[in-house]
Amino acid sequence: MHEGLIGTRMASRFVFFTKTAWHEPPRLRHQLAQLLAADGSEVLFAEKPGLLERPPATGEVPSRIRLFRHRELLHHKLRIGPPLRGLNRAWTAPSIRRSASTLGIAREDVIVNFNYEYYFLRDLFPGNAIVTIINDDFIARALPLCKETLHEAQRMTCRASDAVLTPSVVLQEQLRPYCEPQLFLPWADTPFRQASDSTKRDTVLYWGFIDWRLDYAFMESLARRLAEVAPEVQFLFVGPTERGSDQQALFRAHPNVRLAPSSKLDALPLDRIFASVIPFRGGVEGCDAIVMPNKAFQLLARGIPLLVTGMPRFAQEPFVFRLDQGDAVASVLRSREQFASLQAGMRTFIDGNGPAGRLQQFRAIVEDARRARTNP
């Protein structure tokens, strides 16, 4: 028998329903799927659906993980009211049922749902334990006329689940009126790696989606000011880019800012990086729910301090520097000066937020969900 991360393998298969491609930058859904697979379980991972059924993505996939796709009629932001929601269900549910038959999904398999509006999974899998993970504030980002409809869909989805998890204290409070949400934070994908105290460290990294959430005006100002007082400091933005006119000035007008395509973190020049920036705009709906995103754990595990803006609930730690409070340039330079002394605190934090602890927590949640389904 395969020996898992905490000694014994978690039995049965796990069926993930997501709206994410497997080969996108890793998020909690990818991380949990790989954690379970490493522990010896099989994971069936539903990738981002489309109007028609399509084959799953090609490319390297970890052992014990199988990709599949089903169809979906409308993007979730377009389901304005119960009639459109019902039409989407009528289009989507038969496709999921066919996939379940093809894949041989059995009653003992656990459904792990990352979709806030898949309340109909209970009808499709009446005997299965369903664990729903709400890790985005979909309602906050919705158009005003859609908020109540989305809120109702989320409420039905949570009530149809045997357990509801969230990585945010804010979302936990939002969900509490109609379920008993449990806090489930991401974790580091590797043990802590002591970073060398190298004089070559001259780069601030942004690693993730380069999209509308970023405060480009703030980063422009920061790049310009740093060029005057510390011209050796460079910014490296790595990730898929959502094109927009507000990005052009940052990436074209500042020689100390570089843009690079998506890359695995360990493929980057980590020996030159002294901090990672997450520069979200202040007041962006949904960002107030962020406590410690998935990528933050990955960066901290490699000994990289964080520079953040626009997330008022972000964890307060000595290795987290707020650029929107006080002198941003001074904070950047301070993170560089304190790089070596911050390593011990990051090690302690990562050691307390590793995969074995999260696996043990998830195992207990799944067993409780199974008991709830067996003895409703």
Q: Report the CATH number at residue 120.
A: 3.40.50.2000
Alpha carbon 261 to its chain's center: 19
Co-location of 176 and 279 in the same domain? no
Residue 239 belongs to some domain of the structure: yes
Co-location of 21 and 154 in the same domain? yes
Co-location of 181 and 227 in the same domain? no
Co-location of 169 and 246 in the same domain? no
Residue 2: per-residue pLDDT: 34
Co-location of 60 and 128 in the same domain? yes
Residue 314: per-residue pLDDT: 92
Lowest model confidence (mean pLDDT) among 87-96, 155-164, 202-211, 236-245:
236-245
Q: What is the mean pLDDT of residues 66-89?
A: 84
Co-location of 50 and 155 in the same domain? yes
- Sequence-distant (6+) residues with CB within 8 A of 188 are 297, 298, 300, 301, 350, 353, 354, 355
More confident residue, 57 or 131: 131
pLDDT tens-digit map of 319-342: 999 999 999 999 999 999 999 999
Residue 7: per-residue pLDDT: 40
Residue 34: per-residue pLDDT: 94
Res. 110: pLDDT tops 70: yes
Residue 1 belongs to some domain of the structure: no
- Sequence-distant (6+) residues with CB within 8 A of 42 are 13, 14, 64, 65, 66
Three-class secondary structure of residue 338 per DSSP: coil
Co-location of 209 and 326 in the same domain? yes
Res. 59: pLDDT tops 70: yes
DSSP-derived secondary structure letter, 167: S
Q: What is the mean pLDDT of residues 96-124?
A: 96
Q: What is the mean pLDDT of residues 204-223?
A: 94
Sign of CA dihedral 282, 288, 294, 296: positive
Average pLDDT, the chain: 89
Co-location of 217 and 179 in the same domain? no
pLDDT tens-digit map of 217-226: 999 999 999 9
Residue 244: per-residue pLDDT: 65
Residue 182 belongs to some domain of the structure: yes
Co-location of 98 and 119 in the same domain? yes
Lowest model confidence (mean pLDDT) among 245-254, 297-306, 348-357:
245-254
Cα distance between residue 244 and residue 373, in whole Å:
48
Residue 198 belongs to some domain of the structure: no
Residue 376: per-residue pLDDT: 65
Residue 6 belongs to some domain of the structure: no
Residue 192 belongs to some domain of the structure: no
Residue 367 belongs to some domain of the structure: yes
Percent of the chain residues past pLDDT 90, beyond the cut: 65
Length of the chain: 376
Res. 4: pLDDT tops 50: no
Residue 24: per-residue pLDDT: 85
| Residue 6 CB neighbour total at 10 angstroms | 14
Q: How many domains does the chain have?
A: 2
Q: What is the mean pLDDT of residues 63-77?
A: 88
Residue 3: per-residue pLDDT: 38
Q: What is the mean pLDDT of residues 185-207?
A: 89
Cα distance between residue 258 and residue 236, in whole Å:
5
Q: Which domain holds residue 176?
A: 13-186+354-374
Q: What is the mean pLDDT of residues 69-78?
A: 82
Residue 176: per-residue pLDDT: 95
Co-location of 129 and 106 in the same domain? yes
pTM of the predicted protein model: 0.77
| pLDDT band with cut points at 50, 70 and 90 for residue 255 | very high
Q: What is the mean pLDDT of residues 9-16?
A: 76
Residue 252: per-residue pLDDT: 86
Residue 6: per-residue pLDDT: 41
Residue 4 belongs to some domain of the structure: no
Co-location of 28 and 60 in the same domain? yes
Co-location of 335 and 358 in the same domain? no
Residue 197: per-residue pLDDT: 77
